[in-house]
Structure 1
Amino acid sequence: MSDAKTDPNRIMLYIISDSVGETGFNLAQAALAQFPQIKPIYCRFPFVNTDSKLDKILDQAKADHAIVVHTLATKGLAAKITNFCEQNGLVSFDYITPLLTEVSKRTGLTQTYEAGAVHHLNARYFDRISAMEFAVLYDDGKDPKGFLEADVVLLGVSRTSKTPLSLFLANKNIKVANLPLVPQAHIPDELWKVDPKKIIGLTNDPSVLNNIRRERMIAYGLNPDTTYSDMDRIKEELKYANELYKKLGCLVINVAHRSIEETATIIMESLNLDTYENN
């Protein structure tokens, strides 16, 4: 921790939450991503719901001269952090209280002060679990029947992020089935019965795909120069996939240089599926 004090490119952030702390952590990461030359140190403190727990953490933050980020709903704790930081020369960011205050002001309602309220085991939560089970069950075209039940059907050649994208969307309560595409392979009859608007064709740049496949073979301790990573073979696979997408009339997304989150956002916006998470 002493490195953060002496190295200007080492920033220490204390992320304090009375729940799991994902919101504060994600926001802090998003901000620090704008400074790639900085090596942030994230110190996460979840389930902080008492004065005694908070006091110990704040004393540590003072010793480390950390930036304090917090998302506390428990009554009184956010104000305590603000006061402590002001008195001890620390910088703090309250990611939730200003919004709670404004909502209360506009509606005349009082917040519940319940930590982790967003993580209730309600119907939405169990829908998410169901969607994740669906994604696993119908991964890699295991059962074509899933295409007819899915909210989204992902198509793509090997290493176009079908499985991680399926699981990411499932975490948004979206039921996803996916099918790997291989030239000359049989296309299930069920796919032609799916509304083209629900089908997403994933593609990639040949050079990017070549690098990904070579790295995958190396990771397995195998020769990277195989048919799987051959450039001519890759171009053939992508051509086959793109021709199929044209026949289906589906949306095509090039995942080269795109994160899973970016691709998922394009899919949800194109199909108006962003409302699923809020149902």
Structure 2
Amino acid sequence: MMTQEKKMAIFVISDSLGETGNNLAEAATVQFPNVEFEYHRFPLIKTTSLLAGILEQAKRADAFVVHTLVGEGLADYVNNYCSKNGLCVLDGMSKIINTIEEKTGEIPLYQSGRNHKLNKNYFNRIEALEFAVTYDDGKDPAGFEKADIVLLGVSRTSKTPLSLYLANKNYRVANLPLVPKAGIPDEIWKVDPKKIFGLTNDPDVLNNIRRERMITYGLNPDTNYSNMKNIEAELSYANELYKKIGCLIINVSNKSIEETATLIIESLPQ
């Protein structure tokens, strides 16, 4: 007999964009694959009148309320409402802000969206993203010596998405696709090996990725590009090169972009 799938409504409320609250909720809900979660996002909520209507909806849906409200009085309003009406609530900001206030003696600004202001960090991130695009796929070898991070890897080892993810964390990244017998630019040998990361993959995984790629393009999946012997030769070439360079080798087959990026950041020279 089939069991009915459990369902749960989650209301994410913020007086900014709501990314923090949504990330918190998603980080927790992935631990419950047998539950169907229905997300309702309410960004830029800055008045109690708007909150009142949203919370009435939450009450009717018996929702779990997640909020990251920092505007004065808004967090208390939601917390009190949920307490009185038996709704589960996660206040993602108040306790952290209050703890920092107690430890430092500083009075918080209570300004929403502070982390989205156009500050130096924002412009550094834009510069890093432009750098990643300019020096993607080895388009200009001059980028390798300028980069904070250099990624090497055969085709379909997540070099470009990883470059953009790291750029969003303000790292200037250049990457180079590796092709046997094609050689590599002289500039690579001038880079500190601790800044270079060799990406590899399991042959079977890479074969599946490449076949799916060809199918997506409406092409025959059985080509030299997806041929298992060719893939094994490419990976062997790459691994030998990584050993010569003396860089860290990362197998991305069972890692998310976030996991690989964290490993790279933690391995960078201080």
TM-score range, shorter chain: over 0.9
Q: Percent identity of the aligned residues?
A: 62
Q: Does 1:42 align with 2:25?
A: no
**Structure 1 residues without counterparts, runs of 5 or longer:** 1-6, 274-279
Pick aligned residue for 1:125 from 122, 125, 133: 122
Alignment-derived partner of residue 226 in structure 1: 223
**Structure 2 residues without counterparts, runs of 5 or longer:** none
Moved more, 48-57 or 134-143: 48-57
Task: Report the Cα distance in structure 2 between the residues aligned to 1:247 and 1:47, rounded to whole angstroms.
Answer: 53
Tell me the amino acid that sits aligned with residue 208 of structure 1.
V
Structure 1 residues 85-106: Cα deviation after superposition (integer angstroms, max 9, x where no partner): 1111111100110111111111
- Map 1:35-74 onto structure 2 (within 5 A): 35-74=32-71
Tell me the amino acid that sits aligned with residue 145 of structure 2.
L
Pick aligned residue for 1:205 from 194, 197, 202: 202
Structure 1 residues 4-51: Cα deviation after superposition (integer angstroms, max 9, x where no partner): xxx652111000011111111011001011111112111111111111
Structure 1 residues 173-228: Cα deviation after superposition (integer angstroms, max 9, x where no partner): 00000000000113111111111111000000000000111111111111111111
Tell me the amino acid that sits aligned with residue 228 of structure 2.
M
Alignment-derived partner of residue 82 in structure 1: 79
Task: Report the Cα distance in structure 1 between the residues aligned to 2:83 and 2:192, rounded to whole angstroms.
Answer: 58
Pick aligned residue for 1:99 from 96, 99, 113: 96
Native 8 Å contact 2:195 2:269 kept in 1: no
Q: Does 1:254 align with 2:263?
A: no
- Map 1:137-176 onto structure 2 (within 5 A): 137-176=134-173
By how many angstroms is 1:53 displaced?
A: 1.4
- Map 1:3-42 onto structure 2 (within 5 A): 9-42=6-39
Change (3 A) 1:22 1:120: same
Native 8 Å contact 2:5 2:36 kept in 1: no
* Superposed structure 1 runs of 4+ greater than 6 Å apart: none
Task: Report the Cα distance in structure 1 between the residues aligned to 2:49 and 2:213, rounded to whole angstroms.
Answer: 48
Structure 1 residues 152-185: Cα deviation after superposition (integer angstroms, max 9, x where no partner): 0000000000000000000000000000000011
Number of aligned residue pairs? 267
Pick aligned residue for 2:268 from 248, 268, 271: 271
Tell me the amino acid that sits aligned with residue 137 of structure 2.
D
By how many angstroms is 1:272 displaced?
A: 5.1
Q: Give the TM-score of the pair, scaled to structure 1.
A: 0.94
Change (3 A) 1:74 1:272: farther
C-alpha root-mean-square deviation of aligned residues, in Å?
1.0
Task: Report the Cα distance in structure 1 between the residues aligned to 2:238 and 2:198, rounded to whole angstroms.
Answer: 8
By how many angstroms is 1:258 displaced?
A: 0.3
Task: Report the Cα distance in structure 2 between the residues aligned to 1:160 and 1:115, rounded to whole angstroms.
Answer: 38
Task: Report the Cα distance in structure 2 between the residues aligned to 1:223 and 1:157, rounded to whole angstroms.
Answer: 20
Pick aligned residue for 1:190 from 183, 187, 191: 187
Change (3 A) 1:17 1:272: farther
Task: Report the Cα distance in structure 1 between the residues aligned to 2:66 and 2:269, rounded to whole angstroms.
Answer: 33
Task: Report the Cα distance in structure 2 between the residues aligned to 1:66 and 1:106, rounded to whole angstroms.
Answer: 34
Q: Secondary structure at the match of 2:77?
A: helix
Tell me the amino acid that sits aligned with residue 63 of structure 1.
R
Q: Secondary structure at the match of 1:229?
A: coil
By how many angstroms is 1:119 displaced?
A: 1.3
Native 8 Å contact 2:10 2:37 kept in 1: yes
Task: Report the Cα distance in structure 1 between the residues aligned to 2:51 and 2:211, rounded to whole angstroms.
Answer: 49
